[in-house]
Amino acid sequence: MSKAVSIWVDSHRQRLLDELFELIRIPSVSTLPEHVPDVARAAAFTADKLRAAGLENVEIIPTDGHPLVYADWLHAPGKPTVLCYGHYDVQPPDPLDLWVSPPFEPELRNGNIYARGAVDDKGQFYMHVKAIEALFAVHGKLPVNVKVLIEGEEEIGGKSISKFVPLNKAKLAADVALVSDTALYAEGLPTLCIGLRGLVYMEIVAQGPSRDLHSGLYGGAAPNAVYGIIELLSKFKDADGRILVPGIYDDVVDPAPEELASWQSLPFSEAAMLRDEVGAASLTGEPDRSVLERVWSRPTMEVHGIAGGFTGAGAKTVIPATATAKVSFRLVPNQKPEAVVAAVKAFVEAHSPKGVVCTVNVLSHGPGLLVNPNHPAIEVAAAAFAEMMGRPTVFTRSGGSIPIVGEFHEQLGIPTILMGLGLPDDGLHSPNEKFKLANYYLGIETVAHFLEMYGD
Ligand code: BES
Ligand code: MN
Ligand code: MN
């Protein structure tokens, strides 16, 4: 590995941290309209730092939603081109009262940066920016051609980038994409993620009576929208977590026996997962599937929230006219989002309770993804990671989704290296999200090392 990059990182530790803190302090919550100016500030900050790192053609590209940030450096003739991707937007920080320190005031405690976006994805995409800066600083040039594309809508489904990519295939042409937005399988274990689930996110709106009604005068005869949506939702899965929507498993491809065997050799403790990550009385789901299979290679349906009726203090006797549920389906590779949407719509129509009209609005959808671990670029990444951490790299999947990665494959025809340095208990999307500071520095060195090795 490059001693020079390592020395550079060492001698810039404080500045590398200060800059990341500055980025984290910008509350770029993409889903909340009141944060639009903050999201724009995060885009501008990102563009400035890409320019300062030494990249050229830096652009803030307006979209119908939040801007994209692009930059490149294409002066390594004969060398491959790497497309670095990340997202500068973050999830909302609520519930605020559970944070030990304020979500947008990063705090260093026991070796971790605590803040919203620390690991997802500001701390991680910023590793790319700083790796590029380090390489320019020590070599005066980059070992490969580099294009950088950072979006501000990943946490809300990535609509704008998915319009942009197919219209800009030549601009984005590359040999491989590099994304740091995933986690190590375990502390100290170099990990490349080779599978992501896709996601179909929808809102189901139930309409019962035309207005809220007195529950004494009409109860027993009038339909109730909140109870109606509960009845409908309860039909989606059986007690073992199997989804009951006809056709939903049609395109599911089980992992090959070798891949399943490799998962069995990963260190895994259900008790530790329960205690350190989930914090419930027990895990749930398909009893005939291992926990890793359930979250990595099986579809799932989740309810994120139900709104409707009276939820204030005290009591109000009312039959609610409307109710809304936020629902999503995680898809595994080879499942088609459009087919899932159609199957769910038919299911909702068939199972809407009497007197309640249920409509489905799809908010976003993206396919799952599987990367070929034998692709030469993945092999170089695995070797670089292994050298940095002194152990062989493991290949895992993740149950999470990064919508645009599927389109890098479909539209640009390139594989993606998912080289993330988060940890399983980082609490992304949760209160007290964290990023291990040592992994931030290690990530900068690892990304730089990969680019150097890939250039050779
Ligand atoms: N970085 C995560 C996804 C992730 C985390 C993948 C850990 C693998 C390991 C990403 O920012 C995310 O949260 N994605 C959303 C996508 C959705 C909002 C469209 C998700 O998975 O819910
Ligand atoms: Mn992310
Ligand atoms: Mn996220």
Q: What is the DSSP string of 143-187?
A: SSEEEEEEES-GGGT-HHHHHHHHHTHHHH--SEEEE--SB-SST
Residue 436 has pLDDT above 70, yes or no: yes
Catalytic residue (choose from 38, 120, 133, 154): 154
pTM for the whole thing? 0.93
Same domain, 148 and 8: yes
The pLDDT score that the predictor gives to residue 73 is 98
- Are 291 and 263 in contact by the 8 Å Cβ rule? The answer is no
Residue 34: exposure state from Cβ atoms within 10 A (0-12, 13-18, ≥19):
exposed
The pLDDT score that the predictor gives to residue 395 is 97
Residue 285 has pLDDT above 90, yes or no: yes
**Helix, strand, or coil (residue 192):** strand
Give tens-digit pLDDT for 331-372.
999 999 999 999 999 999 999 999 999 999 999 998 999 999
pLDDT category at 207 given cuts 50, 70, 90 is very high
- Are 228 and 208 in contact by the 8 Å Cβ rule? The answer is yes
**Which ligand is closest in space to the CA of residue 426?**
1
Does 72 participate in catalysis according to the annotation? no
Q: Which atom of ligand 1 is nearest to the CA of 156?
A: 18
**Which ligand is closest in space to the CA of residue 153?**
1
Amino acid identity, position 262: S
157: left (phi over 0), alpha (psi -120 to 50) or beta: left
The pLDDT score that the predictor gives to residue 277 is 87
Mean pLDDT of the chain: 97
337 lines ligand 1 (CB under 6 A): no
Q: Which residue's entry shows tokens 């025809």?
A: 413
Residue 155: CA atoms inside 13 Å, Cβ hemisphere, count?
A: 22
What tokens appear for 418 in the block? Answer: 């998912």
The pLDDT score that the predictor gives to residue 381 is 98
Distance CA(207)–CA(223), nearest Å, equals 9
The pLDDT score that the predictor gives to residue 202 is 98
Same domain, 413 and 430: yes
Same domain, 356 and 432: no
Distance CA(249)–CA(227), nearest Å, equals 28
Same domain, 324 and 245: yes
pLDDT category at 70 given cuts 50, 70, 90 is very high
Ligand 1 center to 403 CA (angstroms): 8
What tokens appear for 324 in the block? Answer: 């809304």
Note down the domain range covering 324.
Answer: 198-252+299-366
pLDDT category at 1 given cuts 50, 70, 90 is low
For ligand 3, a single-atom ion, which residues have Cβ within 5 Å? 120
Q: Which atom of ligand 1 is nearest to the CA of 197?
A: 21
Say which CATH number the domain at 356 has.
3.30.70.360
The pLDDT score that the predictor gives to residue 342 is 98
Instruction: Point out the domain boundary residue: 324, 349, 366.
Output: 366
Q: Which atom of ligand 1 is nearest to the CA of 429?
A: 13
pLDDT category at 62 given cuts 50, 70, 90 is very high
Q: Which one of 66, 90, 150, 155 would you pick to mutate in the ligand 1 pocket, going by the greatest count of ligand atoms within 8 A of its CB?
A: 155
- Are 17 and 127 in contact by the 8 Å Cβ rule? The answer is no
Same domain, 29 and 116: yes
The answer to the question of residue 131 being in a domain is yes
The answer to the question of residue 103 being in a domain is yes
The pLDDT score that the predictor gives to residue 2 is 78
**Which ligand is closest in space to the CA of residue 120?**
2
Same domain, 231 and 107: no
Same domain, 231 and 93: no
Number of domains the chain is built from = 2
Give tens-digit pLDDT for 401-412.
998 999 999 999
Same domain, 62 and 154: yes
Amino acid identity, position 384: A
Same domain, 345 and 443: no
Same domain, 30 and 149: yes
* Gap between the terminal Cα atoms of the chain: 13
Does 154 participate in catalysis according to the annotation? yes
Q: Which residue's entry shows tokens 């088609």?
A: 336
133 lines ligand 1 (CB under 6 A): no
